[in-house]
Amino acid sequence: METLAFHYDSIDSTSDQARRLAAKHPGRRLLVTATTQTQGRGRSGRSWRSPPGGAWLTVTWPTTAPPEHYRPTPLLVGEAVLTAITDTTTIDGQLLIKWPNDILLDNQKVAGVLCELDMTNDPPLLFAGVGINANFLPDALGDDLRRTPTTLLAATGRPVDLPTLIQHTTERIQAALGALDTPDQTQNFIERINQHLAWIGHTITVTRGRDAVRGVLKGVEPDGRLRLEADRQTHLLDAGEVQEVTPGPAGAATG
């Protein structure tokens, strides 16, 4: 199926515009990109500053399976974004996936993912929104962020070819979403996610509202849940925020 592509110099949110366009193009795969967003969105309604020079995009994907089938989507999309960045840039630092939906470069956020499943459409639609801090310096993002950010320009000292980055990111995301319908391919993605997962082997604390779970991070399950082990018990988490990391044994992946 051909993907319909739309670009805007400025838009409130590529994800919001993708929803509007989906109503006009039912059942179609869509790509929405923007030079800048005025109301970019992150998880839990958080804002996402989107100055010129970033890769701001949303892929719309018609779905065919029950909602639970798409739980690992943010991680698969995160792996796709990580791979697209390594495809198009030369980075000396370490790129890792922070569960459930961030990409870290040397422990600083360089990209974020927001995936939303809308069951009110026929067929239901998956919206995979991505923001990559590319060709600008971190101070363009302001100083009120929850996590210290970085950008590809700050990390490499040179701009990336933005159209190429967006193209590779889109292609990788679409391949990842297509893999969801093939169990063997999905398992391959999960294995790659675990290879690039931040803090495997470290003791972490994951908060869920007022609750907190602390344990050694063992990886992610095929359904995208985070696996922690503590006091000979296994905890499988489908939501939460990683709030604290305690260094683990030598050789463990760090973020």
What pLDDT, on the 0 to 100 scale, is given for residue 188?
86
* Host domain of residue 93: 3-195
User: Given CA atoms 83, 226, 174, 56 in this order, what sign does their dihedral have?
Assistant: negative
42 lies in the same domain as 113? yes
104 and 229 assigned to the same domain? no
Domain boundary among 152, 179, 195: 195
pLDDT at 116: 94
CA distances from 220 to 26, 152, 235, 239 (A): 33, 27, 11, 12
Q: What is the pLDDT along the chain (255 residues), one digit of tens a residue?
A: 899 999 999 999 999 999 999 999 999 999 999 999 998 766 555 666 789 999 999 999 999 888 888 999 999 999 999 999 999 999 888 999 999 989 999 999 999 999 999 999 889 999 999 999 999 999 988 765 567 899 999 999 999 999 999 999 999 999 999 988 777 778 888 999 999 999 999 999 999 888 999 999 999 998 899 999 998 899 999 989 998 788 765 444 444
The verdict on 134 and 168 lying in the same domain is yes
Is 171 contained in some domain?
yes
In this structure, are 136 and 190 located in the same domain?
yes
